[in-house]
Amino acid sequence: MSHYPATRRFVSRHPVTQLRAVAAAVVTALVLVSCGIPLDDEPIIIANDELPSSLQTGSSTTTTLPDRLSEEVTIYLVDPGDGEARLVPVVRQVPVVEGGTEIAQVILEQLLAGPTSEEQLEANVTSAIISSNDTPISVLSLERPVENQLVVVLSERPAIEGSDRTVAFAQLVFTLTELSNVDQVRFAVRSEGGNDEDISVSTDTEDGDVRRAVDRTDFPSFRVIQSPGS
């Protein structure tokens, strides 16, 4: 008899708690049904490929970054052949130019570096543009005094003389006039005092050496041939 009142107090104190538990169970069931997951009397196994992709085991998201953007440019090298003046267009991939850098400078740097070992082996090409020492000729600046004309300031004059010097300038002119906004080219060299002096260009015409802007018509006897790998 001494325990009965205590039992009555315990039962009468928690009807709200029981109602809350029942309500929570109902809400949980409604949420599961709304998500498309059926309710069963017993636990069931759901195949991994039947689950939403976010719940599948081993699922991951891979982001592939694009390759570094590049573009094709054409430079002109020389086929030594039988001594005839023959230029060979060689296509190279270079990074897309950003900022204030001119594509003309990128192309010139490619040309002044000379043929790669692969190009020498596969296409048997060379270059007549050489420096007087072990340091390659470099581009110091580019200027555009008038539309479609480019002034190229080099670190030194091409070292070769005679007919090979004409070949060197033909390479430079043909390479630069591949660009849609370049029709004529003038060349200069920077002196020790910092002044830019015009270079005498050896042409393939009766004009001979000139100190003016030149274009492809100044090299009429030069043939352009395709490399064996083209």
| Alpha-helical segments (H) within 76-176 | 103-112, 117-123, 163-176
Average pLDDT over residues 139-146: 94
Helix (H) or strand (E) run with residue 10 in it = helix 4-12
pLDDT in tens, 202-220: 999 999 999 999 999 999 9
Per cent of the chain over pLDDT 90 is: 50
Beta pairing partners, 97? none
Q: Return the C-alpha torsion angle 172, 177, 179, 185, nearest 10.
A: 80
Which segments of the chain are extended strands (E)? Answer: 70-78, 86-95, 139-143, 149-154, 184-190, 196-198, 201-202, 209-210, 223-224
133, two tokens: 């020492």
What is the reported pLDDT for 96? 84
Q: What is the pLDDT of residue 134?
A: 80
Residue 219: other Cβ atoms inside 10 A: 21
Instruction: Name the average pLDDT for the chain.
Output: 78
Q: Check residue 226 and give its pLDDT.
A: 81
Of 209, 164, 163, the closest CA to residue 187 belongs to: 209
Q: How does residue 227 score in pLDDT terms, banded at 50, 70 and 90?
A: low
Count the neighbouring beta carbons within 10 Å of the beta carbon of residue 210.
15
Burial class (CB in 10 A: 0-12, 13-18, 19+), 9: exposed
The pLDDT value recorded for residue 38 is 55
pLDDT-derived band at 1, boundaries 50, 70, 90: very low
DSSP assignment string, 49-60: GGS-TTTSTT--
The pTM of this model reads 0.68
**Statement: residue 160 has pLDDT above 90:** no
* Pairwise CA distance, residues 93 & 71, whole Å: 6
Distance of CA 113 to the CA centre of its chain: 19
**Residue of 145, 155, 142, 152 lying closest to 101 (CA atoms):** 142
Question: Which of 51-55, 87-91, 162-166, 173-177 comes out lowest in average pLDDT?
Answer: 51-55
